[in-house]
Amino acid sequence: MTDSYLRSLGFAATDDSRSSSRPTHARAWRYQHQSLAHDGAQLFIEHPLGIDSCRLSTMAAPLDAQDVFATLSLHDGPALETAISAFYAAHGGVGTLAPVSTPNVYRPYRRQL
């Protein structure tokens, strides 16, 4: 899965900042679907730690297996599209656009000399 493919499905990166500490797309990433479900549930997709799979969840960083809606092969686009459709069907359909969250970026004050 590539960044452009995920964006074509309606996902947006949860952190668009570019820095040396951010892992590359090939190693780890997390995206949020731009549309909420009809009941207000959010859909996230995550590829953690370079493992050859991705997982769908209603949480940005699920820690428990019960929080994961589906685990898919990293290269199985049709299964991902089916899982997205199943998620929205289970939650009453596609709702409104998700609110855009802005990450809290610490920027120390720099005095002008």
Q: What is the pLDDT along the chain (113 residues), one digit of tens a residue?
A: 778 888 888 888 887 655 545 455 555 688 899 999 989 889 999 887 767 888 899 988 888 888 898 999 888 889 999 999 999 999 988 888 877 666 566 666 666 66
Cα–Cα dist 31/59, whole Å:
11
Any idea where the domains of the chain sit in the sequence? 3-12+29-97
Predicted model pTM: 0.75
Amino acid at 5: Y
* pLDDT for position 29: 81
**CA-CA-CA-CA dihedral for 73, 62, 26, 35, to nearest 10:** 80
Measured between alpha carbons, how far is 45 from 60 in angstroms, rounded to an integer? 8
Can you give the pLDDT at residue 86? 94
